[in-house]
A and B are shown apart, each in its own frame.
Chain A
Amino acid sequence: MNAALKQKSVRGLETAWLEAGPVDGDILLLLHGFPDTAASWSYQTKAFKDRFHVIAPFIRGAGPSEAARAIQRYGTDGVALDILAILGEVDPRGERRIYLVGHDLGAVHAWHLARLLGQRVAAMVIINGLSLRQMLVRWRHPRQLLKSWYIFLMQLPLVPELAVRAAPRAMLSLAHGLGGLPQASRPDAVPLRGALAGPLNQYRAFIREIPRLTRRRSPRLTCPVLLLWGADDAFLVPPHAAELAHDATDVTIRIIEGNHWLQREQHEAVNGLIEAFFSLKSAKGDPA
């Protein structure tokens, strides 16, 4: 996909990202979920590198980004600080517009980052993912709780780490299989031993953040948000139209054919919808 691997030490830990496209263009920030890496955006990097400066960070502990001991480094604030450091590296003056795309747990980080970045965010696309507030609300729904069984499994000490260290390929294959990702759409790269152990701490960090979340009032985002949803997602129930009313003022929801990993399984349709959404929103505001 012709993306360059970049690395930088952020608060004492090696932090990596993939980068492609014109370095002075608008930034397209792609945030992956679990158990993915920045490479899961290969189709989008290829499709958008001519128009955007594509930045796809490896979330803490994923791929070449060094794992942390402290759980907080995997939470929304910890990951946001990593990504802000990357943005500081690629756009030191902080003047370029940012288009955000987040999938799965990357969506949690995208919502949080969008609030921190404020007016710099021109538009955001969420693919089969939730904000932390949505996660909290959805845990009152039995169907979502049933689909989220693995989140509770991740709270066990050591057991998940032992499983992903002992058989990373099998665990990855299990996750993709449960999610219904066809063999042809699965990434070629085999995860390194231990590469999945760090990122799963995100689930633990989020659970710890929830009590704080109930006390925190987050402002609604004013940037346009597109929520793309695979109709056959095995891990998340489809969104309700009013579900994001507390999170953003301008939300478009589209449910399309596909599963949890839409950006891989339906990459052409997803790229087309992202392109159309960003073009439309650019046309309404300043030219991109």
Chain B
Amino acid sequence: MKATDPLDHETLARQVKLQRRLAWDMDRDIPWHLGVDPGKPFLPLDDQAIAFPGASPEQALALSQYMGLVVNATISEMEDALPKLKQAGWARLLDDYPVGPELRELGELFFDEEAKHANAFSRYLDQFCEATAVERRDLDALLPKAFGSFFQKAIINNAEHGGHAFWWVVANVEEVSIGIFHQIMRHRQAVDPLFFALHKRHLEEESRHGNYAFLMLNLVARKPPSLRDRLHRKVDFLVSQIASAPWVVTELYKFFDVRRLRGVHPFFDTLASCIPLYESMSRAEIVRRMFFAAPYVSWVLNPSWREQHVDTARVHGAIVPPLPKPHAVELSLPHALRTSA
């Protein structure tokens, strides 16, 4: 995913045309009529990563679906939060360094598309609830929420003080969501068809506009810096990590709230039955695995996995936490699911 030079007006103008021409329509271009197939997994998992060895086929299916719902909810939450940062994180930067009308137009398209993605992922959660008769309110209690969080407040505060941690977070989400799709793609025959179709459409637009966050970060690097800008360039990458990591860990710990939903629905019962698989590990071990071994989670938490992100940070002269790379793990559907899928 190569980011365009923000001063390359011709390329940006072509990109605007391309995005306008190829933008998909949420109602028309996603096969919602398929509905969610509750018998299919959503995300491939790693048998060894967190606590899946020994999971029964039902548990593996529920965990795969739960991880898929967490990913959808996270993307939906992040992309829903973007408009709240539009003024402080985007418009202000373009006012300070107004390189050209195309970059602004691309930004408007970017925000429109992100709002559409947030709605589409939220609609998938609705469809899941419809297919499984799970109450949306109960499901939401286990899924990430960004609104009103310390994470969101910290990022807004940073943007209001001239920082760009916001764009580092967006770049993180974009790069990870593309990595996630590559995994889904490899198991497209087995995963829920609507889940696959939704992520495929998402990836199409992410790959078209996905470099917008990197484009904005390039703009920050091109802007003649004030003293405050220099400070932000140095620390904002770290700020984005420090603000997002506790949020990710806290939101994932919501999984344990499933105990309170025992007896509400069989899906929650199956998830609750997985808790002993985790409890065999110490908290420190779980956190270590989150940063270095758990697929998806470690990609978000550990910047060393995100090559473009870290390369861009180095161009900015930003402080990058010296974490070792997460272990490369081969993701697959748990054995029991492969045979049943």
Contact = CB atoms under 8 A, between A and B. Distances in A.
B9 A240 contact: no
Given A231-B7, A231-B222, A238-B224, A255 B95 contact: no
Given A255-B7, A256-B7, A256-B9, A240 B95 contact: yes
Interface string B42-82: 00000000000000000000000000000000000000000
Interface in B1-21: 7, 9
A143 B228 CA distance: 13
B56 to A, nearest CB: 59
Contacts of B246: none
A38 to B, nearest CB: 29
Contacts of B224: 237-238
A240 B222 contact: no
Given A231-B7, A254-B9, A256-B9, A241 B100 contact: no
Contacts of B9: 254, 256
Given A253-B100, A256-B7, 17 more contacts: A143-B226, A231-B222, A237-B224, A238-B97, A238-B98, A238-B224, A240-B95, A240-B98, A241-B94, A241-B98, A253-B98, A254-B99, A254-B100, A255-B7, A255-B97, A255-B99, A256-B9
Contacts of A224: none
A137 interface: no
Interface string A236-272: 0111111000000000111111000000000000000
B321 interface: no
A242 B97 CA distance: 11
B279 interface: no
Q: Which 5 A-B pairs have the closest CB atoms?
A: A241-B98, A241-B95, A255-B99, A253-B98, A254-B100
Interface residues of A, number: 14
Interface residues of B, number: 14
B100 A255 contact: yes
Contact of A252 (B96, B101, B222, B223): B101
Nearest to B222: A231
A240 B100 CA distance: 12
Contacts of A256: 7, 9
Contacts of A238: 97-98, 223-224
Contacts of B99: 253-255
21 contacts: A231-B7, A237-B224, A238-B98, A238-B224, A240-B95, A240-B96, A240-B98, A241-B98, A242-B95, A252-B101, A253-B98, A253-B100, A254-B99, A254-B100, A254-B101, A255-B7, A255-B97, A255-B100, A256-B7, A256-B9, A257-B7
A239 B98 contact: yes
Contacts of A231: 7, 222
A189 B10 CA distance: 34
A255 B98 contact: yes
Chain A interface mostly helix, strand, loop or mixed? loop
Nearest to B219: A255
Contacts of A240: 95-96, 98
Contacts of B226: 143
Contacts of B101: 252, 254
Interface in A40-75: none
Nearest to A258: B7
Contacts of B222: 231
Contacts of B95: 240-242
Interface centre among B96, B98, B226 (most CB of A within 10 A): B98
A242 B222 CA distance: 20
Contacts of A255: 7, 97-100
Contacts of A241: 94-96, 98
A252 B13 CA distance: 15
Contacts of A254: 9, 99-101
B93 to A, nearest CB: 10
A246 B223 CA distance: 24
Interface string A163-206: 00000000000000000000000000000000000000000000
Contacts of B98: 238-241, 253, 255
A87 B279 CA distance: 87
Interface in B83-135: 94-101
Interface string B133-169: 0000000000000000000000000000000000000
Nearest to A255: B99
Interface in A80-130: none
A97 to B, nearest CB: 24
B84 to A, nearest CB: 21
A128 to B, nearest CB: 14
A255 B223 CA distance: 10
A228 B96 CA distance: 15
Contacts of A143: 226
Interface string B215-228: 00000001110100
Nearest to B104: A241
Interface in B192-225: 222-224
A252 B95 CA distance: 12
Nearest to A141: B226
A253 B224 CA distance: 16
A231 B219 CA distance: 11
A238 B226 CA distance: 12
Interface in B222-276: 222-224, 226
A109 to B, nearest CB: 24
Interface centre among A241, A242, A252, A255 (most CB of B within 10 A): A255
Contacts of B223: 238
Nearest to A273: B9
A11 B94 CA distance: 46
